[in-house]
Amino acid sequence: MEIERHVLVVFPHPDDEAFGVSGTIATHVKNGTPVTYACLTLGEMGRNMGNPPFTNRENLPKIRKEELKDAAQILGIQDLRMLGFRDKTIEFESDKMLTNTMSALITDVNPSLIITFYPGYSVHPDHDATGAAVLRAVEKMPEAARPTLHCVAFSNNCVEEIGEPDIINNISAVTDTKLAAIAAHRSQTEQMFIGMEEKLANEDPQLMKWINNERFWTYTFTN
């Protein structure tokens, strides 16, 4: 993994950072690289509220906000920004406004690397709209000034249509940190961990491969 000047991670929901890129984040932090995480929403429309439920729709965003802060602390993220958009509405926001928001963020942080979702290949409309806004903001920049873009994709057709990922980070040195970050999002992941306990204890090869290998596509602009 290359040493970066500053890494900017942009995702729409609390826990987006935990599943796909938390090992990469933890490694950058371990290498002394500052990481900024900009999270657009508090995931207030999340479906998981515990089984049996331990909260309600009104209180879920308060819980998810604290979970996000806990996960960021576990990963060593010192610059956590909550941008205040509403869950499941990113696709309906003005393209111009979202682009300007991302441009201002990039100007402020001045990252050498941005991690976000690959538009069209990240399953959720909020994911796609967030990634698209980041790409538009970077595309507006002079080519020589553009940070590197590492995009996360996991739709069923992603490899078929955009090829194999060109970056695969093995994060086995920080697996425990990644699992702790995922577990910090308790409202969304507690039931998942119950189903995974035995496999984790036995270090199931397929599960550990999924956990320890984080995939990225380097985005290339045509202009």
Tens digit of pLDDT for each residue in 175-220? 999 999 999 999 888 888 887 888 888 889 999 999 999 999 999 9
pLDDT at 197: 83
Residue 130 has pLDDT above 80, yes or no: yes
The helix or strand, by DSSP H or E, that contains position 18, with its residue range, turns out to be: helix 16-30
Q: Give which of 82, 94, 99, 77 is closest to 29, Cα–Cα.
A: 77
Neighbours of 62 (CB within 10 A): 12
pLDDT at 53: 67
pLDDT at 190: 85
Render pLDDT for 143-170 as a digit per residue (tens, 0 to 9).
999 999 999 999 999 999 999 999 999 9
pTM of the model: 0.95
Give the separation between CA 180 and CA 169, rounded to whole angstroms: 18
pLDDT at 222: 86
pLDDT at 49: 61
pLDDT at 1: 87
Residue 32 has pLDDT above 90, yes or no: yes
CATH fold for domain 7-218? Rossmann fold (3.40.50)
| Confidence label for 48 from pLDDT (cuts 50, 70 and 90) | low
Amino acid letter for position 75? L
Report the share of the chain in percent with pLDDT over 70: 96
Query: Cβ(161)–Cβ(125) under 8 Å?
Result: no
Q: What is the rounded average pLDDT of the residues 120-141?
A: 97
Q: What is the rounded average pLDDT of the residues 32-59?
A: 82
Render pLDDT for 59-90 as a digit per residue (tens, 0 to 9).
889 999 999 999 999 999 999 999 999 999 99
| Confidence label for 117 from pLDDT (cuts 50, 70 and 90) | very high
pLDDT at 55: 74
Give the separation between CA 14 and CA 27, rounded to whole angstroms: 20
pLDDT at 51: 63
Bigger pLDDT: 223 vs 186: 186
Residue 4 has pLDDT above 90, yes or no: yes
